[in-house]
Structure 1
């Protein structure tokens, strides 16, 4: 069954790979990102790219109104925009921390609020929120990123309960280590804020660990496969943990306790 799908954050990595797969399957895919120039390949495949800043209310209103005017509905919303703000809590300016939440949490929430009435009227729909295995665990230098993803997990769980009676599914996607530009942005941030000074040693260890594991994550195709399953499922699971390390790391966090998990994580960045 052909569906109208809105993907927020479709210019690269997981979003772009999944958009390609969904377009090829015959779905109507609206691909949204700040970087319109990076989505022309999706347009060539039959997708509909639109420029939007997830922190700009006017942009969000325009995108949703455009889709509703043309299609009359939105069957699937995938909130996939986000980035990783890394650096020591002591070093990161609070304005930067606020921006992390504006993108990873509040922008996502605004898009969702504007789409819900149309799904509720249709008594159907699926909302997919990209969290992370980092929404269930933590790593050094990632306090603000993990805080945003932990918040998204709780927010999504509440949303699922609120929308269940209207026939709307809420799904949390928890990727593990995926080969995308995310790691490079994270590395740039941690070096920018904490590359010199009191936390230089831990940052150097983290950079060495990133370099050692560079290119060893899962390909974005594993996420595209998961999104395909979610979109086409009559009753999707509430969570999809996909990609390298996702399942074992979350399992360790849940069952091993704080001190042992702390030791494991710190050993990984020595």
Structure 2
């Protein structure tokens, strides 16, 4: 399987990288897989009995802003402090042109130097109004102080630059009817237009599971005509109907191995 994947990469004119939470695990980021995994990453929430799905609810920004911004403020600090692992740079070896499609909101691809990234669920590094009063989206240039015991934000919370009310991350949350999708949609439209012009496109899907299959669907759609799909996933590597190559490995291990075979 490694040889087949290496052969695909060596002949690629363009590369579409489709990444889920598993891409960041080797950088030390949690993938929030199940309640136990989330609580292991965030023991204070285990003590409180709060699940990831419960915390990633936009209603908290109205009902309990300190709780909401405690959760997202901590993640903002985490992502800013995290250095992308070596696999990000190894990906740049393949394909004359590259694009990224990701459900991750952490900004790790941009930090690793990728210019064209489509963030289907938005970005924690951008803000919008809670209401929202307008469709304005702007970069988050501030810090949110979080008490490590209570995991609640303390001090002044981010405010909307238009109305002065509370701001929130421009991230699609669970049951979210207030998310402003304009920035993500523009990225997705640009990606779709680019993909339609590429004939020898290879898709590398990394760390995208079945629980939220958004990334998997994109990877399968983009590779449907050619079967040029490389699926890297240590837990759920299976490829439907044999339309692709399955690598049951973690992101960094797989990318290092492929780099050696294509050197």
Q: TM-score, normalised by structure 2?
A: 0.30
TM-score (norm 1): 0.29
Return the structure number with greater relative CO, CA threshold 8 A, min gap 6: 2
